[in-house]
Amino acid sequence: MRIGNFFKGFVTLLAMCSLAFADGVTPAALSANGALVRDRQLTEISQILRGGRGGYIDFGFYYLPSPEQTPLLSEYGEHEGFAFRHHLAGFGTGEMAPGKHLGFLLWFDRSGWDGEDFFFFPQYNDFSLLRSTTTWGLNYTDVRKNMTIAAGMQHTNAEHVGNIYVDENDSLAYSWAYLRWGHISARGSFYRTEWRNAHVSLDLESRSIYGGKSSGPLTYLPNIDVGFYNGHKSDSIRVTWEQNLYEQRLYGKVAFDFPDGEFHSASLAYYPDASRMIGFEASCLRRRVRGGSEDLLWGGAIDLLFVRLAYNSAYDYDNFFGAKGTFIAELKFSLAALDGFLFGRGAAKTAPLETEILKEKNKQPSSLDGTMSPNPNGAKSIEATGIRFEKGGK
């Protein structure tokens, strides 16, 4: 009972902080979100395609209890309402031939701002902006060559654009492609003949989930991503460095923007288990605010299997319309599967399942007193101890 009261008080305190320190969202941030969503979806897809096979499911929505948390700040004043994001993703593969897998993937986001808190039917007022983004495609993986190729389409649909926003096409189609060979991968998004974003990644960290090491020096190699952007970021290049700091449970991540070479963000994440089913993160982000001045935004998040609680998180500032001083509760479920084992997106190891524990027990030597002794052929033989045989006399 005391724990429950403490939790309620903690949530109430965070909500009060949100109302006191929250900044509103701007029409410019809402207008630019379409390109950010497409880039984020391809980033998540590349994390899942590191294995190239198995399955993945993700769904969830952001919950903001008060319209005062994310008001819209337009040229006509401040408007109470709700920023929102609903997301859904799925991925699955089938084995066509030994070591060769063909799969299908689908990512969907519906996000924007509206005057009412809703799940299915928004208000559609003069200041609302609602947009959906869908990414789908096919992938092929050759396990023996450690290679994956994928391609597909991205569709952006402007469901409703209020009078204060720049007019945009209500249906845009983009193409995308992905290639991974070993620890190197590249992906890009294109609108007709014009490229929109491109990434080159070096996933050097050895991960046992994909047949690598479970411990040792190779697990401390970095993961580096270089993103090139055409038209929707103030800086054209962003370099992100992710580093395992302790047993693939403690990670540091830092990002810099070029050509100016400016610090963008840094985070420290701790996962009680390397499967990333549960995580705790602290982050710092350098943001540009009114008048071109600069400051640091500190925050963090608690990520559980069914809910994520965040305040001033760098991830939310980048991907949720520049939300600042806002307590966010995301109700969600996200889980990947590979060879019958479960893990979170981006994990280095699978979750410790009961079946794996039983396998370890079966590997132990045995005798009549409860141990088993393996022979060179892999079969298990039983050794009797404490029994003596003597030749019978004639």
Domain ranges of the chain: 2-362
Cβ atoms of 205 and 8 within 8 Å: the answer is: no
| Candidate from 20-24, 237-241, 269-273 with smallest mean pLDDT | 20-24
**Structure confidence at residue 208 (pLDDT):** 95
CA 170 → CA 42, 161, 164, distances in Å?
A: 21, 9, 16
Q: In this predicted model, what pLDDT tens digit does every residue of 168-221 receive, in sequence order?
A: 877 889 999 999 999 999 999 999 889 999 999 999 999 999 999 999 999 999
**Structure confidence at residue 371 (pLDDT):** 36
The CATH label, of 3.30.70, 2.40.10, 1.25.40, 2.40.160, for the domain at 2-362 is: 2.40.160
**Structure confidence at residue 163 (pLDDT):** 87
Average pLDDT along the chain: 85
Q: Is the pLDDT of residue 78 over 80?
A: yes
**Structure confidence at residue 6 (pLDDT):** 43
Question: Which structure tokens are listed for 57?
Answer: 């499911």
**Structure confidence at residue 188 (pLDDT):** 96
| Candidate from 13-27, 128-142, 308-322 with smallest mean pLDDT | 13-27
Q: Is the pLDDT of residue 101 over 90?
A: yes
**Structure confidence at residue 7 (pLDDT):** 44
Q: Which residue has the higher pLDDT, 328 or 6?
A: 328
Question: Which structure tokens are listed for 290?
Answer: 């009114």
Residue environment code for 117-134, b if the CB has 16+ CB neighbours within 10 A, otherwise e:
eeeeebeeeebbbbbbbb
Report the relative pairing of strands 307-311 and 223-229 from DSSP bridges.
Answer: unpaired
**Structure confidence at residue 356 (pLDDT):** 52
Whole-number percent of the chain with pLDDT over 90: 65
**Structure confidence at residue 230 (pLDDT):** 87
Q: Which residue has the higher pLDDT, 391 or 100?
A: 100
Q: Average pLDDT in the 3-20 region?
A: 47
Q: Which of 263, 255, 265 is nearest to 297 (CA)?
A: 265
